[in-house]
């Protein structure tokens, strides 16, 4: 397994597509789906007025790192649908826009983490992009479902995601630092994959 400096090559996408046929990667993705469901029951941590840290993003980012963008999108679709139907959606009706948000979020993580030279800056960028996606698409879905003005919902969501950004970045950095040695040992990620500062 080799590292890539960017995802804009045919070889990168051939490797990513091959993950769908790997029993080990499929098993890992299934375990991450189960972990997402379990993390949905872990109490969130309040940070500020109306801002709480939930934990599903950890399993999604980890799956993206190991499984890549192709299998990662399959994982995102399956995880969102299973989580919704197993938990009853928290009393909300099913809306496919939120499934799309999950799939695109996992894709963003994968494009920045899969077979990449990991740095704290790259983790921060991935969280920044996924949080921006959550703000823009989340506000759109809320506007469609509730009739609220897009900019009002987007403004409140932007503040929340800005507060969460450093905490989520630190949590992902700590997770990757702790798990990368085991993932390398089990040959789930390239042997050269390390977490650097820059």
Domain boundaries, the chain: 10-196
How far from 175 is each of 27, 71, 120, 121, CA to CA, in Å?
A: 20, 21, 12, 15
pLDDT averaged over the chain? Answer: 92
> pLDDT over 90 for what percent of the chain?
71
- Give the mean model confidence (pLDDT) for residues 171-175: 96
Nearest to 19 by CA among 189, 136, 147, 158: 189
Residue 66 has pLDDT above 70, yes or no: yes
Q: In the CATH scheme, what is the code of domain 10-196? A: 1.10.1760.20
pLDDT at 51: 85
Q: Cβ-count burial of 179 within 10 angstroms (0-12 exposed, 13-18 middle, 19+ buried)?
A: middle
How buried is residue 2: exposed, middle or buried, by Cβ count under 10 Å (0-12/13-18/19+)? exposed
More confident residue, 106 or 51: 106
CA-closest candidate to residue 60, choices 109, 125, 111, 17: 109
42: confidence class by pLDDT, cuts 50, 70, 90: confident
pLDDT of residue 172: 97
End-to-end Cα, the chain, rounded Å: 22
Instruction: Locate the DSSP E strands across 28-85.
Output: 45-48, 51-53
**Strand-pair partners of 53:** 45
Under the banding of pLDDT at 50, 70 and 90, the label for residue 198 is low
Average pLDDT over residues 5-29: 95
pLDDT above 70: residue 89: no
Indicate whether 93 pLDDT > 90. no
Q: Look at residue 7 and give its three-state secondary structure.
A: coil
Decide: 73 and 30 in contact? Cβ < 8 Å: no
């Amino acid at each position: 397994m080799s590292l890539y400096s960017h995802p804009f090559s045919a070889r990168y996408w051939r490797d990513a597509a091959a993950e769908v046929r790997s029993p080990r990667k499929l098993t890992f993705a299934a375990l991450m789906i189960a972990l997402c469901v379990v993390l949905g029951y872990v109490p969130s941590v309040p940070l500020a007025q109306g801002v709480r840290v939930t934990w599903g993003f950890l399993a999604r980012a980890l799956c993206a790192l190991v499984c890549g963008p192709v299998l990662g999108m399959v994982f995102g679709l399956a995880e969102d649908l299973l989580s919704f139907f197993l938990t009853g959606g928290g009393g909300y009706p099913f809306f496919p826009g939120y499934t799309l948000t999950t799939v695109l979020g996992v894709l963003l993580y994968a494009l920045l983490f899969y077979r990449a030279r990991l740095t704290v800056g790259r983790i921060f960028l991935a969280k920044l992009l996924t949080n921006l996606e959550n703000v823009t698409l989340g506000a759109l879905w809320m506007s469609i479902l509730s009739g609220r003005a897009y900019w009002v919902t987007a403004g409140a969501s932007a503040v929340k995601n800005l507060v969460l950004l450093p905490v989520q970045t630190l949590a992902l950095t700590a997770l990757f630092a702790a798990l990368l040695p085991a993932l390398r040992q089990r040959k789930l990620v390239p042997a050269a994959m390390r977490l650097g500062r820059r």
